[in-house]
Amino acid sequence: MDRRSGTAAQISRVSSKGQVTLPKRVREAIGVGPGDVVAYDVNKGVVTLRRLEPIDLAFHAAVESTLAEWGSKEDDEAYGDL
């Protein structure tokens, strides 16, 4: 039992391949399911797991193409320190 939050710790065993199964409670808490992508943030020996939002690659490509006009050397010099 975690004294700070009053909840029981969720435990997984690491496989020989370095894999773990996320307990159902953890999956539900961060809203992940099959095929979702998670990120691990490590700080001073503590790992925080979070769900990454899926990226819309078509939208990203469309927006990126409109930003090309701002990629000149002159723009970098004028706005690089913002």
Q: Report pLDDT digits (tens) over 45-75.
A: 999 999 988 877 777 777 877 877 777 888 8
> Is residue 71, in this structure, part of any structural domain at all?
yes
The pLDDT score that the predictor gives to residue 39 is 92
> Is residue 69, in this structure, part of any structural domain at all?
yes
End-to-end CA distance of the chain: 47
Give the helix/strand (H/E) hosting 65: helix 57-66
Question: How much of the chain is in helix, strand and coil states, percent to nearest 5?
Answer: 35, 15, 50
- Residues of the chain with pLDDT > 70, as a percent, come to 91
Look up the domain containing 65 and give its range: 24-79
> Of residues 1 and 72, which shows the higher confidence score?
72
- Rounded to whole angstroms, the Cα distance separating 39 from 21 reads 15
Query: How many folded domains does the chain comprise?
Result: 1
> Is residue 74, in this structure, part of any structural domain at all?
yes
SS3 20: coil
